[in-house]
């Protein structure tokens, strides 16, 4: 599982950095064309912010679910052996 996570993280990093490498040097397919770096930077920023908001929403949802599921007033909540059985 740890290796799969590392592999997927590496692939995502490569998918982001390889296309951006050509933009750094303002390369185009046709000679004599120019790139507007402001547009490219804004596009990259928009993509990264979309990913950040999506990851944030998933993490926030997971935290809210855990708080709701493992609250003390949950009907199926039982104390662990380490907490004692004073109920």
Q: What is the pLDDT of residue 10?
A: 80
CA of residue 9 relative to chain centroid, distance: 10
Does some domain include residue 30? Answer: yes
Q: Look at the chain and report how many structural domains it folds into.
A: 1
- Identify whether 56 is part of a domain: yes
Q: Is residue 61 part of a domain?
A: yes
| Domain containing residue 47 | 21-69
Q: Round to whole Å and give the CA distance between 64 and 57.
A: 10
7 within a domain of the structure (yes/no) = no
Q: What share of the chain is helix, strand, coil (3-state, %, to 5)?
A: 65, 0, 35
pLDDT range class, residue 81, cuts 50, 70, 90: confident
In a domain, 28, yes or no: yes
Q: What CA–CA distance (Å, rounded) separates 40 from 20?
A: 9
Domain assignment present for residue 35? The answer is yes
pLDDT in tens, 21-72: 666 666 666 666 777 778 888 888 998 999 999 999 999 999 999 888 888 7
């Amino acid at each position: 599982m740890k290796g799969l996570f590392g592999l997927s993280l590496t692939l995502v990093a490569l998918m982001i950095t390889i296309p951006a490498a050509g933009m750094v040097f303002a390369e185009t397919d046709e000679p004599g064309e120019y790139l507007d770096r402001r547009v490219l930077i804004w596009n990259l920023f928009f993509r990264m912010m979309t990913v950040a908001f999506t990851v944030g929403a998933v993490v926030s949802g997971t935290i809210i679910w855990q708080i709701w599921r493992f609250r003390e007033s949950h009907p199926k909540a039982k104390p662990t052996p380490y907490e004692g059985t004073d109920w």
